Amino acid sequence: MSKIATALTIAGSDSGGGAGIQADLKTFHQLGVYGMSAITAVTAQNTLGVAGVYPIPVEAVSQQIREVLRDIGADAAKTGMLFDAAIIQAVAEEIGSFGIQKLVVDPVMVAKGGAKLLLDEAIAALKQHLLPVAEVVTPNLPEAECLTGMQIRTPDEMREGARAIHALGVRNVLMKGGHLEGDVVVDMLFDGQAFYEISHERVQTRHTHGTGCTFSAALTAELAKGTALVTAVERANRFIFEAIKTAPQLGGGHGPTNHWAVIA
């Protein structure tokens, strides 16, 4: 048997199973990648909202990462909810220490129901410490506005925002366009030289909990398997489209997507 691709998620736990490490690990498995985790915080939540957030001690986060990487290693890694500046800095140090090149940063800041998942003072740490060691960052438009201080409401403003985020040191910026109006969702990938647009039909549904986690996990899985970045983004885009379209209709609020989605 050939060596299986491996991926590490560094993120919060979602007790409802639709986002965070639960979504990441299910997505890794579905896409044929062996998943590992380092938990940064435990949340008490369901489809209706987040009732509590309980961060893990910084040293425990670092130790989880070290123990996984020094034994199993990881072909790619991703970050999700990191909560505070101390955890962000510790994660960046571990990633740098082990020389992980394929790092996907999903800058999780606010839950679907509005709960804050990243402290304000942590945004500076994210920009200073984590983005410079990342292969790609995947902000939605509100997250991009937080990272840049800009208003982003149009495709031209998306491009301007991508350039500003790229200037922070990240190698590639994927601006997700789901917050713009229209029947087609257009994401923009910027590699510092050129823009690539990846689009899919908008699915009208309230069951979109964990879409950012699931998309970035799919991207991480593809990178772990050695897929080239543009193709990896295209495949992750197809996966999240199918996952939203076939959502299992769970819960009374923003339900999860379908992590058993299949793409060709």
- Would you please indicate which residues are annotated as catalytic (active-site) residues? 176, 208, 210-213
Place of tokens 């979109």: 208
Q: Which helix (H) or strand (E) holds 77?
A: strand 76-79
Q: Could you write out the DSSP letters of every residue in 184-201?
A: EEEEEEE-SS-EEEEEEE
Which bin fits 70, alpha (ψ -120 to 50), beta or left (φ > 0)? Answer: alpha
Do the strands 103-105 and 76-79 form a parallel or antiparallel pair, or are they unpaired? Answer: parallel
d(CA 78, CA 174): 14
d(CA 130, CA 28): 22
With contact defined as beta carbons under 8 Å apart, do 105 and 215 qualify? no
